[in-house]
Amino acid sequence: MDQPWLRPVPGGTELRILVQPRASRDQLVGVQGDELKVRLAAPPVDGAANAACCAFFAKLCKLPKSQVTLVTGESSRHKRLLLNGVESATVAAILEPFAGVDLNAASD
């Protein structure tokens, strides 16, 4: 299966994320366009949503928080995260069950 939200890079794997802050709970919703959509309870204030996003994916992928880095999107809902030291096949195996819902197809 093709995952446009997942890209191998030197030193790890990059994820393209669409964040919906101030949700009722933290959860991975599915795929929207070429990004994974994630809902986070944290507000988009003082980097709280960015920190929550990194912590959420660290926990989901069973990584230390220090291995998840925000690459771009500090003040945007569209973000790129770097998972350091993890192969893209490993990340795909972990996230695909959660990312199985194509939100574009569901809205048609």
Domain boundaries, the chain: 6-103
Averaged pLDDT for residues 70-96: 93
Residue type present at position 1: M
List of residues 6+ apart from 37 with CB closer than 8 A: 17, 18, 20, 28, 29, 30, 31, 103
Q: What is the CATH number of domain 6-103?
A: 3.30.1200.10
Averaged pLDDT for residues 38-54: 94
Please state the pTM of the whole predicted model: 0.86
List of residues 6+ apart from 98 with CB closer than 8 A: 28, 60
pLDDT digits over 57-69, tens only? 999 999 999 999 9
Instruction: Give dist(CA 108, CA 106) in Å, integer.
Output: 6
The structure tokens listed for 39 are 């809902």
Question: What integer pLDDT is reported at residue 107 of this predicted model?
Answer: 41
Confidence of residue 3 (pLDDT cuts 50, 70, 90): confident
